[in-house]
Structure 1
Amino acid sequence: MTDNRVIQWHYADPEMAIQSANVIGRLLQAGYEAYWVGGCVRDEYMRRPVHDMDITTSARPEKTCALFQRVVPTGIKHGTVTVLMNGQAFEVTTYRVESGYEDHRHPTEVAFVSDVNQDLTRRDFTMNAMARGLDGTWVDPFNGRRDIDQSIIRCVGQARVRFREDALRMVRCIRFASVFGFSIAHNTWRGIIAERDTFSWIAMERIRSEFDKIITGPSPLAGFEMFIRSGLYARMKSPFPYTGHDQRIMDAIPCVPDQHVSVRWALVLLACGITAEAANPLLRAWTFSNKQRAAILDLLVFQEKSLTDAPGAEVDNDQLGWIQSVLTYGDEAAERWLIMQRSLMAAGAHTVSKEQLQLMERWLHEMPVRSLKDLSITGSELLHAMSMRGGPWLGTLLNQLLHKVATGKMNNDRESLIEEAKRVLRDYEGT
């Protein structure tokens, strides 16, 4: 259990900190060494939120398993087990060294060691190669705190060796520099340039995950520019077809709230002149989910439509065109497109006027229905009321009803919808 000598964590969930201290305490009582290590130590020192707390120990994985009631052998061959303690989960890893990175990503050989300093030697960057003891003792053999104080990302040991071991570290380096606002040490940057051809070994899913963090971070432009300058963009399994970018559109990205990642991605593609048609296979190759891909593509199509369908002289026609776009692509896509336009406007790269944008926002707010589910009657109810069998015609009819209600040409009540449906069919049969 913990005692008064335990260090106080200020940026971690209190319960998580207590339970992780209990894990370390039990390992210490059994005669082993144990420390908090890596990201949690770094983030606490940087006064950033701590999201998880990893532990490193001299205890072999089977010894760790024997000490705790609930353990999941998540990576026991490589020395990692997950200890479950009072609703909290902690990765506990035996001190180890690694070798034989044949795929430039995963070690083929792992050897357990007894010295925490040896374990820290295998880690990527100095700021992540720090450990902290239960009593507050620091283990910082590569001056990670100094590099944090100087806002520098620096590899542990030789940068080329670190990147050759795990090529994903190159984009992680850029991500850390972008998110933290740090610079990259000269020798570390030279290591990226020297080893960038190994980047093609890395799965697109892992790269996209890192780039999502860059895009949603506080300085996405810095991360994007480093990614381009490094040449990594051309060395992915599915290369980014970069030939240049519109800086004004790129400047709009930080204006987008970071939770709207699809809007930020759409702006990156838009700034690089990548059309919706060209973006579709790229987003598939970059392992975006179908939902994410559709959200980004809808924004690009929306934008392309707004450029080709210039506002007309009559407000009524503009409103009808806008309503049809909302019905075609969905209100969520319309909301995200409006967010994108506000961001472009803030960066001086807008394609619609402020007045037109305000009208579109008002029109969207005033729409009585936005999709078929908002109609006061379903397809099956309509068939029953008309004593008819279904067919392709039903979908067409429902969309006609939706458009009329959305544009205010008829009320959204059951009887009106049935009567209008009967009228449309009579007119159709009479032609």
Structure 2
Amino acid sequence: MKQEFVRAVPVLEQLEQGGYLAYFVGGSVRDSIMGKEIHDVDIATSATPLEVKEIFGHTIDVGIEHGTVLVFHEGVPYEVTTFRTESTYKDFRRPDQVEFVTSLREDLKRRDFTMNAIAMDKDGCLYDPFCGREDIENQIIRTVGSPDERFSEDALRMVRAVRFISQLGFEVEENTYRALSEKANLLSHIAQERKTAEFQKLLSGKKPKEALRVAASTQILNYYPELDKFTERISHFLSLEVSECQTFEEWLSVIALTSSMNESMFKEWKLPVAVIKRIKALLLGYERRKAEFFTRYQLYELGIEAAHSIERVWAAYSGQPAEHDRIDDLYAKMPIQKETPLSFSGNDLIKWSGKKGGPWIKETMKDIIQGMLDGEIVNEKEFVKRWLIQGNNQLKNN
């Protein structure tokens, strides 16, 4: 048993000492079976939320109406959720009401996929009524029970299924695949923020191209703003060597280039402003890189990491080999780099020139930096001052 479970065993034991059933459940059990690193350890119990709160001194109500209480043991938080069944779902996402039960099987029965419907006791013994371990061994994504019912209850499960293709490298079982196509239209009821979050996880997985192919063939992508265009060009995208991409922003930039998407799409995806800014910078950088290799001044403005990010997008979409070594060599030979403190400021330029502030400051600083990069100016305050006074810049003409 992994140490993460061992550290949480006292939580199970305290619940059992109170006369209740308690098991580890969910993704941590799945990942443990697969030999993967596990993160959050979740616990299911027959104790009601109020009974859980009576047993443990330090708790937080994180979703008590749905049976979940956050329990702290030795400073580590654990989500402890009461066994439950769910009624009909509203908005194809949230159940109208939940009913607490004492049966572990009934609790596992409501879960999305068989691989996530496995419980483990404190001794490491598995309770697997829906053959989830077998599906894990066969690398199959299969719903618990009817896929039509599971996806009608919570349409976001369809995007989760596709995301698991990327993260785990599994394939979707035939009936589950069919239901993805037939129920995809229900995704129109799901908030874009939730769909975007799943899409981001999909792109960070180990097989994003395979996941996107299934998402396109089942029409799931059509329920993301402007990705209907991407669906039409999915074969072109699948032919690209997109393994170069390392971040969500890089992936989305290549997708945007493939689909000729406009910038409004990023806002419709409810992306954070900072993420949109990075994507726009990558797309602008790509256009410049397409025209010519980085100049010294461009590398100075961008910095080494941003330049490599643009290079990955350019290489992925253009099909040309990335020239990372060339970037590193050019950057290393530059007299000043993005991280280099400048010996002067805009206030110095105002003082030396006797002029008022204005756009000329930015242009003059650019000229000085370019001169430094060309080896004509030394990054020393007195040298820059003499250079300016001698009239080798725009001050003389403004």
What is the TM-score normalised by the length of structure 2?
Answer: 0.91
User: Which residue, out of 11, 27, 46, partners 1:23?
Assistant: 11
- Call closer, same or farther: CA 1:426–1:148 in 2, change over 3 Å: closer
Amino acid at match of 1:412: N
Aligned length: 395
1-structure distance, mates of 2:359, 2:38: 55
Structure 1: how far apart are the matches of 2:380 and 2:87?
70
> Equivalents in 1 of 2:226, 2:87: separation in Å?
28
Query: Structure 2 residue aligned with 1:274, among 238, 245, 260?
Result: 260
**Judging changes above 3 Å, is the alpha-carbon distance between structure 1 residues 300 and 237 closer, same or farther for their aligned structure 2 residues?**
closer
| Correspondence for 1:58 | 46
Deviations 1:364-403, CA, capped at 9 Å, x for gaps: 3322234497322122344345455423322222222222
Q: Which moved more, 1:392-401 or 1:147-156?
A: 392-401
1:401 paired residue number: 368
The alignment status of 1:200 with 2:188, answered yes or no, reads yes
Q: Determine the C-alpha separation between the residues in 2 that align with 1:65 and 1:37.
A: 20
1:428 and 2:397 equivalent? Answer: yes
Please give the secondary structure, in 1, of the residue aligned with 2:89: coil
* 2:320 pairs with one of 350, 361, 369: 350
Q: 1:263 aligns with which of 241, 250, 253?
A: 250
Letter in 1 for 2:48: R
CA contact (8 A) 2:200 2:248 kept: yes
Change (3 A) 1:88 1:240: farther
* Contact 1:203-1:237 within 8 A present in 2 as well: no
1:32-431 aligned at under 5 Å gives the runs: 32-236=20-224, 239-242=227-230, 243-245=232-234, 247=236, 251-256=240-245, 258=246, 260-270=247-257, 272-274=258-260, 278=262, 280-307=263-290, 309-310=291-292, 322-327=295-300, 329=302, 331-341=304-314, 349-350=319-320, 358-371=325-338, 374-422=341-389, 423=391, 424=393, 426-429=395-398
Aligned partner letter, 2:175: N
In structure 2, stretches of 5+ residues that fail to align are none
**CA-to-partner distance for each residue in 1:48-92, whole Å, 9 max, x for gaps?**
111110000000001101111110000111110000111101000
SS at 1:368 equivalent: coil
Contact 1:249 1:344 survives alignment (8 Å): no
State the alpha-carbon separation in 2 of the partners of residues 261 and 239 from structure 1: 16
**1:131-170 alpha-carbon deviations (Å, 9 max, x no partner):** 1111233221111011111111000111011111111100
Query: Does the CA-based 8 Å contact 2:165-2:211 persist in structure 1?
Result: yes
RMSD of the TM alignment (CA)? 2.4
TM-score normalised by L of structure 1: 0.84
Contact residue 286 and residue 314 of structure 2 kept, 8 A? no
Given that 2:20 and 2:46 are in contact with CA atoms closer than 8 Å, whether structure 1 keeps it comes out as yes
Aligned to 2:44, the other structure's residue is in SS state strand
Q: Which runs of 5+ in 1 are unaligned?
A: 1-7, 311-317
Structure 1 runs of 4+ with >6 Å offset: none
- Whichever residue aligns with residue 19 of structure 2, its letter is G
CA offsets 1:309-358 (integer angstroms, 9 cap, x no match) = 35xxxxxxx7xx6224335555443121234456568xxx1178x6xx65
Q: How far apart, in 2, do the equivalents of 1:299 and 1:141 lie?
A: 48
Equivalent residues of 1:153, 1:184 under 8 A apart: yes
